[in-house]
Structure 1
């Protein structure tokens, strides 16, 4: 049972990380549950060996001692003697989530850990729902952080928020083209854009490929964000900077990842499903989709003519702000006020 169970534990699967749980604790919990599963099988019958035991022979008062060949079990491999057969599994974690965030977390077991590297190199986008709260600012951009400022928000409307989000998305899409280092005047670049394959060729700041407001009920608002190369702290700072552009303040009350590459909430195993059989089934179900998506994202280049890179290497570029708003602060203010935005 243990060997057969391990043979099916090679691949990727997704779990749902609840808020307040560190990713290291989640990984250790999954490993413990898997070890319980592979070690829970019925132990094989112990091997037998022949021993010569000394014993009396005869019925009379004078019994003779002689050696008799007897088959006895070998206990050197018994679980009560040597312990469980499997004591450790190698489990890798994909794009991590901090303790306050929740949502889809991809794990790799066995040879699946190599696929986590492939997912990283594919620069796949991720979806989040981010909940904001207008009217206050904290030191760490979280709702439960140390309060540093309170402000009014009666002047904030849905139209103003949508305008700010459109400007953010536009500026980040321009940055995406720059970091993708492709010539948009070619047919190959157009084909890549249609398939959604224009992505950074290396390291870059957080890039927002899509953002929209799905709920606006002051002081709360809910955003859907599609991005790459992000951290959850940068998403919280994005909410803070949106509040500043709206001439008020805002904090982030929730960050929830709803999609990581080709894994969605429907693929994520709940905490009650973190066991051997459910994880094996999840790996088998995801394997064809993982292979197809990685092949599409990592296929050789299509002959794209590369543009000359910036004067500084990408690794030396750091995001001036989480949302990229500092570099176009004047444009944003002009657009909010109704003025033109430079191309």
Structure 2
């Protein structure tokens, strides 16, 4: 029975190590739902491939010839395996493993996608409640506009862009960041005269208390080689389509047009590209190792970011009408004052 005990123990330990969060790298063109289903299939494959336990034995009396006299029959006690629980009879032991997905990525986007397995699905809710920021690299292309703000969309306009310079782009990005910083303070519902507000500001952890429109906490140009430019954006409560629209609006502010050719998430909360498992590592052992490696950091970060914030004052719920619909209105200080 040693072999059977060893196989059962391996399965129990395997399940115990499958409770937590890990990050996978989603390539462009792949739906997040397909990624989740693929991960689930790989986990089930690994769990069901564990060493099968030795079947239980039962005593049966079988009719056979007597020893020394083959002409006469007799009942002989024999130990035979019980096959009622054999894998070929009852099927695989594991047929489903619930997996949750955190902040989603649309089919055109790529990058860090956080998943929760087993009890780790509850931690996804904690991540959402912590209002953690996410980092993106967003690639833009000057000189044309499409119907969906993406490079592959239907072309609706072509423009010149010779007048666009790095300095003009940087000025616009600075205005965007300043405008969103003001909005961030408003949606945080903080008493700005409190000691806690001061400490949070110095640590850079001021966040909205509830759901808000997309808020940009940082934006800068990483590369500028017209017609292409590459932005780094730190934000929260965003969608990838809003980031594409942001590129379009930046183009309008530059007195030209621009489309988005790439949206790539490089960080989701405390998970970065270095943590994200590539498709070749979406297997049981790699995911178990990733969950165990991330567990201490996940616990520490969630505890730090979910601490009750004192010194806050209740403000009226912000109007959902402010959603960065127009970049020009979002740039002025007055864009936040009326909400």
Relative to the length of structure 2, the TM-score reads 0.92
The match for 1:260 is: 268
**Which residue of 2 is the match for residue 341 of structure 1?**
none
Residues 330 and 291 of structure 1, relative CA distance in 2, 3 Å threshold: closer
**How many Å separate the matches in 2 of 1:257 and 1:178?**
26
Deviations 1:189-217 (A, max 9, x none): 01011222210110100000000001000
Q: CA deviation at 1:66?
A: 2.5
Contact 2:179 2:332 in 1 (8 A): no
**SS in structure 1 at match of 2:205:** coil
Say if 1:168 and 1:325, in contact at 8 Å, map to a contact too: no
Alignment pair present for 1:177 and 2:185: yes
Query: C-alpha root-mean-square deviation of aligned residues, in Å?
Result: 1.7
Preserved CA contact (<8 Å) 1:171 1:324: no
Given the alignment, which residue of 110, 114, 136 partners 2:122? 114
Query: 2:29 maps to which residue?
Result: 20
- The structural deviation recorded for 1:274 is 0.8
Task: Point out the more displaced range, 202-211 or 272-281.
Answer: 272-281
Asked whether the 8 Å contact 1:10–1:110 carries over to 2, the reply is yes
Closer/same/farther in 2, CA of residues 324 and 317 from structure 1, 3 Å limit: farther
- Which of 299, 309, 312 lines up with 2:315 in the alignment? 309
Residue 44 of structure 1 corresponds to which residue in structure 2?
53
Partner of 1:321, secondary structure, is coil
Q: Which residue of 1 aligns with 2:169?
A: 161
Do the aligned residues in 2 keep the contact of 1:104 with 1:268 (CA within 8 Å)? Answer: yes
Q: Secondary structure of the residue that 1:153 maps to in structure 2? A: coil
Is 1:29 aligned to 2:32, yes or no?
no
Residue of 319, 324, 328 corresponding to 2:322: 319
Instruction: Say whether 1:84 aligns with 2:87.
Output: no
1:327 to 1:211, Cα distance in 2 relative to 1, 3 A = closer
Asked whether the 8 Å contact 1:13–1:108 carries over to 2, the reply is: yes
The runs of at least 4 consecutive aligned structure 1 residues that moved more than 3 Å come to 58-61, 322-325, 327-332
Within 1, Cα distance between the matches of 2:263 and 2:329? Answer: 23
CA contact (8 A) 1:137 1:240 kept: yes
Count residues with an aligned counterpart. Answer: 326
* 1:148 pairs with 2:151: no
Deviation at 1:112, TM superposition (A): 0.5
Report the Cα offset of residue 326 of structure 1. 2.7
Task: Tell me: CA distance 1:5–1:66, structure 2 relative to 1, closer, same or farther (3 Å).
Answer: same
* Equivalent residues of 1:130, 1:255 under 8 A apart: yes
Range 193-202 or range 203-212, more displaced: 193-202
Question: Quick check: 1:204–1:318 contact (8 Å CA) kept in 2?
Answer: no
**Residue number in structure 1 paired with 2:215:** 207
SS at match of 1:269: coil
The Cα offsets for residues 74-118 of structure 1, whole Å up to 9 and x where unpaired, read as: 111111111111111111000000000000010110110000000
Question: 74-83 or 127-136: which moved more?
Answer: 74-83
Contact 1:58–1:64 (CA under 8 A) maintained in structure 2: no
Aligned equivalents of 1:323, 1:235: Cα separation in 2: 13
Cα distance in structure 1, aligned partners of 2:330 and 2:223 = 28
Query: TM-score w.r.t. structure 1 length?
Result: 0.91
> How many angstroms apart in 2 are the aligned matches of 1:96 and 1:323?
24
**Which of 11, 24, 33 does residue 2 from structure 1 map onto?**
11
Residues 108-164 of structure 1 show CA distances to partners (whole Å, capped at 9, x for unaligned) of 101100000000000000000000000000011000000011111111111110010
